Amino acid sequence: MGPAFLPGAGCLSDILHGMGYRNVFLGGAPSSFAGKGRFLRDHHYDEVHGREEWERRGLPKEAFNFWGLFDEALYAQAKTRLAQLHRSGQPFNLTLLTLDTHNPDGFLSPGCRRRGVARFEALVECASDQLADFLRFIEQGGYLKDTNVVVIGDHLAVHNAVDATLRQARERRIYNRFIARDLPPKNTEVILPFDLFPSILEFIGIDVEGDRLGLGYSAFNAPATGRPDGRLVGLTLPSLAGSSSYGRLWSAPPAP
Domain contains 191: no
Domain contains 162: yes
C-alpha to C-alpha distance for 172 and 157, rounded to whole angstroms: 10
pLDDT (0 to 100) of residue 16: 97
pLDDT (0 to 100) of residue 156: 82
pLDDT (0 to 100) of residue 255: 53
C-alpha to C-alpha distance for 10 and 33, rounded to whole angstroms: 22
- pLDDT tens, position by position, 88-129: 999 999 999 999 999 899 999 999 999 999 899 999 999 999
**Residue 66: which CATH number?**
3.40.720.10
Domain contains 216: no
Q: Are 121 and 160 in contact (CB under 8 A)?
A: no
- pLDDT tens, position by position, 182-211: 999 999 988 888 899 999 999 999 999 999
Low-confidence ranges of the chain (pLDDT < 50): 1-2
Residue-range definition of the domain harbouring residue 158: 12-183
Domain contains 138: yes
Domain contains 149: yes
What b/e readout covers 97-109, taking b as 16+ CB neighbours within 10 angstroms? Answer: bbbbbbeeebbbb
Continuous segment of H or E residues that includes residue 49: strand 47-49
The tally of domains found in the chain comes to 1
C-alpha to C-alpha distance for 220 and 198, rounded to whole angstroms: 9
**pTM of this structure:** 0.92
Domain contains 37: yes
Q: Which of 149, 155, 227 is nearest to 188 (CA)?
A: 227
Domain contains 125: yes
C-alpha to C-alpha distance for 210 and 46, rounded to whole angstroms: 30
Helices (H) then strands (E): counts for the chain: 11, 7
Domain contains 135: yes
